[in-house]
Amino acid sequence: METLKHLSLIAIILLSSACTSISSVHPLGTDTVQLVEHEWRGTWIAQDGTLQLDVLDTKAGIIELVFIEHGKIEKYTVTIKKSGQDTYMNLLNKDKSYLFAKFKKRYNQIIVWPPSSKAMKVAIASEAIKGEITKDDDLLITADKDNLNKFFADNSEKMLFEYDEPVVFRKNVK
């Protein structure tokens, strides 16, 4: 649960509730996003915490996220991908699955929407997408890359993300 708490800072970002994590065996998005290093590198501040971002690979869209709490440093690798008009963060979890969130970056601001646990539970339970609901109520999407991306593209009008509860980060610019 401690890792989930950290990840919630980037929505995370990536969690829609304190008790449910939603991950996929593949990153979400079909296209690589090339990054402009100076636009990403730096300290990003949200209401609940601060992150340090560093660009590891501009062409592959890979950043490193560093979170510091109580003197403990946590580092995560995040891949940025795009499908159509939607852009996603895919955080490589310690179990090699990907926590994901939809986001928009504008100037010195990143708005992150975590996936909806309610919508994803319904999708997995109804077999709209292949996945597992664990005994701890965590969700793991096990669909292959093509079916994963097709599901999100075909259902883009549905509330698959928590649009009413975004996490907003502002870059600390001196």
| Domain locations along the chain | 2-171
The least confident of 30-34, 46-50, 94-98, 138-142 is: 46-50
- Domain 2-171 belongs in CATH node 2.40.128.50: yes
Contacts for 128 with CB less than 8 Å, ≥ 6 apart: 122, 151, 155
Dihedral sign (CA 69, 74, 75, 76): negative
What average pLDDT score do residues 33-48 get? 91
Q: What is the pLDDT of residues 59-117, one digit of tens each?
A: 999 999 988 767 778 889 999 999 999 999 999 988 899 999 999 999 899 999 999 99
